[in-house]
Amino acid sequence: MSAHKSIVSISKGFKSLISLFCNVKTSWLYFLSLCVLAGCQPSGKEQASEDPKYLDPYLDAIRISATAENPLDSSHEAKIHIWADEYDFGQIKEGDTAIHTFRFVNSGNARLLINRVQTSCGCTHSDWPRGFISPGDTASLSVSFDSHDRSGPQEKTITIFANTNPVRTTVRLKGTVIPR
């Protein structure tokens, strides 16, 4: 008799479970909950530590440009030295383009790699060398400022992201746009 009660109780529980999952709204709720929980599970990959001593030998040249054998050795660093970090283009008429080339040297003793260059405005564009710049070598960063729909004093900041310490180096382009 107790076995019969157990089977009836299991049967009722099974029916409740089936009716619960047959309800479309509830099914979506359980499905989404399962997806969220599955996304929170660790992937099994090692996570990078917040500790600055954490090293990734494959990204070493990009991040700090030290040798993989001794990545914390600050004597092996790329250094960007810009001869003139600000250029005043004077006065130009609205619609004209101001162009300047910033020359720089890798004054460090490791290869320099510019990862990206970011301008402070969509009216300013840049072109920089791709690939490594050896210690002692010079290179240039070309910048152009399009003055369409601009007037008055202008100052544009161009940020260079490289494997230097600090990672960011800035140059400035400034001048005045005279309305037509």
**In the 8-state DSSP scheme, what is residue 121?**
S
Is the per-residue pLDDT at 138 higher than 60?
Answer: yes
- Confirm whether 166 is domain-assigned: yes
- Domains contained in the chain, number: 2
| Same-domain status, 91 and 173 | yes
Cis peptide before 166 (omega within 30 of 0): yes
Average pLDDT over residues 36-53: 42
- Confirm whether 171 is domain-assigned: yes
CATH code (residue 93): 2.60.40.10
- Confirm whether 72 is domain-assigned: no
| Same-domain status, 21 and 88 | no
Domain that residue 15 falls in: 2-39
Calculate what percentage of the chain has a pLDDT beyond 90: 56
| Same-domain status, 87 and 23 | no
Rounded Cα–Cα distance for residues 90 and 146 (Å):
14
| Same-domain status, 84 and 34 | no
What angle, 0 to 180 degrees and rounded to 10, lies between the N-to-C axes of helices 2-22 and 24-39?
A: 90
For the beta carbon of residue 67, count every other beta carbon within 10 angstroms.
13
Is the per-residue pLDDT at 93 higher than 90?
Answer: yes
What digits encode the pLDDT tens for the residues 148-163?
Answer: 999 999 999 999 999 9
Give the contacts of 77 (CB within 8 A, at least 6 positions apart).
64, 65, 66, 108, 109, 110, 164, 165
| Same-domain status, 32 and 89 | no
pLDDT bucket at 180, cuts 50 / 70 / 90 = confident
Report the residue count for the chain.
Answer: 180
pLDDT bucket at 66, cuts 50 / 70 / 90 = very low
Rounded Cα–Cα distance for residues 160 and 102 (Å):
11
| Same-domain status, 32 and 86 | no
- Confirm whether 46 is domain-assigned: no
Distance from chain centroid for Cα 102: 23
